[in-house]
Amino acid sequence: MKGLLPLGVDLGTTRIRVALTEHLPVKGLRLRAVVSRELGDVDQAHGGEEELVASVVEDLVGELDVKQRACVTAIGAPHARLEALRFPRMTSFERRNAARFEMRDEAKQSHRARIRVHLVDRASQLFAVGAVDEAALKYRLSVLRKAGLRVVGVDHDACSLGRLLPNFDGIVDVGYQHMRLHLFSERVPATRYVESAGSDVTQAIAGELAIDARSAERRKRILGVAGAGEAALDALVRALCALVEQVRGRGGHISRLGLLGNGARLPGFAEAIAQRLHSSIELPIAELLRTADVSSEVLQTASPDWTLAAALSTWSVV
């Protein structure tokens, strides 16, 4: 595929990112632009304000000033689960029933959980089994369609990040509401997550300083937890490190760990993780991001926030 690729749209809880990548005949992939915008008080977590979120997406696409309307978005934990499973030889009908049984926790949480089974290796009967919350998927599709976009793919965020950062055993994505650990040592990526993330630190700062959440978020991004929110940050670090050690204790291989997401830019966060794990942790810059026409300073600052959108924009060339 040559020319403009489908847009990569990262529908975050508090921020939207849209990436535009082109495939040049000789030079290959080039990231032309990434645009992003804060959502302010829009509450995506409860599925509301679809029109308002869609208008933000539409404005961002307008900033790109291109005719491309095909797009790819992502969904991940806790709304989607991806597992590597082996089944004995059976019919496709039996395999779907077996997959639904294996994903029964997701089925209980959402009576309309959508289950998909994909063959990875026929010889060993290895399958990638995915389950996605129908309501969460429907919300994303509705927002993008209202924004005038045509959805050509919905990727699992672990698959997208693993594709763009192939040399990492694990990627930590620190979002506003969840912290996810993506694992790539096996043929099918896996995700483990905890329900604590950047919002916990923001709320702690707001409570300790008696300020509103928006002011606390701005202070956190500039000063970190200097004088407020230190206990919340320590709890976040401990939760993440416990997750990593749990995976290692079960034989999981994690030697090279990357840190992404808006929370990755929290001053002192990466250093605290490295100290507790007694190993280094990187803030990776994917090769695709290095093709963007921006300064190294901008790239260093923005890469934790841009990576997923950029990864989604390469979905069609896999």
Encode the chain (318 residues) as per-residue pLDDT tens digits.
Answer: 568 999 999 998 888 999 999 998 888 999 999 999 988 644 444 445 889 999 999 999 999 999 999 999 999 988 898 888 899 989 888 888 888 888 876 544 545 778 889 888 888 989 988 889 999 999 999 999 999 999 999 999 999 999 999 999 899 998 888 889 999 877 889 898 888 778 888 888 888 888 888 888 888 777 777 777 888 888 888 888 888 888 888 877 788 899 998 888 887 888 888 888 888 889 999 999 999 999 989 998 899 999 999 999 999 886
Burial class (CB in 10 A: 0-12, 13-18, 19+), 195: exposed
The CA-atom distances, in angstroms, between 170 and each of 35, 239, 243, 279 are 26, 16, 12, 13
CATH topology identical between 1-79+133-164+284-318 and 166-283: yes
Name the class of domain 166-283.
alpha beta
**pLDDT of the residue at 305:** 92
Convert 2-38 to b/e letters by CB count within 10 Å (16 or more is b).
eebbbbbbbbbbbbbbbbbbbbeeeeebebbbbbbee
Question: Would you say 299 and 289 are in contact if contact means Cβ atoms under 8 Å apart?
Answer: yes
Q: Give 190-217 pLDDT, tens digit per residue.
A: 898 888 778 888 888 888 888 888 888 8
Domains of the chain: which residue ranges? 1-79+133-164+284-318, 80-132, 166-283
CATH topology (fold) of 1-79+133-164+284-318: Nucleotidyltransferase; domain 5 (3.30.420)
Give me the pLDDT at residue 31, please: 96
